[in-house]
Amino acid sequence: MSIAAVAGLVLAAPWGIEGAMNYPKIGVKLVVLLVIGAILGIGSAKQKKSPLSPVLFWLVGILTLVNAGIAVLWR
């Protein structure tokens, strides 16, 4: 999770880019990443007591696809 956050921030850094940066897009993607991390943390804590809820599993998958969709579709 932390590797994904660091890699995303490094790739979003304005090194050698002449055009304007899309900071709202980067911010939204960072918020979605933090929500995914929070859900994974909650799921990890719950998994020690009982099996992982399918709702949490699917929610992480959907949010990951949403994050990828934001990267591709938001111009």
Query: What pLDDT does residue 10 have?
Result: 83
Q: In whole angstroms, what separates CA 18 from the centre of its chain?
A: 26
Question: The whole model's pTM is what?
Answer: 0.78
Query: What pLDDT does residue 29 have?
Result: 93
Contact 22, 1 (CB under 8 A): no
Tens digits of residue pLDDT in 9-45: 787 777 777 778 888 998 999 999 999 999 998 888 8
At residue 69 the predicted structure's pLDDT band, cuts being 50, 70 and 90, is very high
Tell me the CA distances in angstroms from 8 to 34, 50, 54, one per residue in order: 12, 33, 27
> Total domain count for the chain?
1
3-class SS of residue 17 = coil
Domain that holds residue 31: 2-73
Contact 40, 4 (CB under 8 A): no
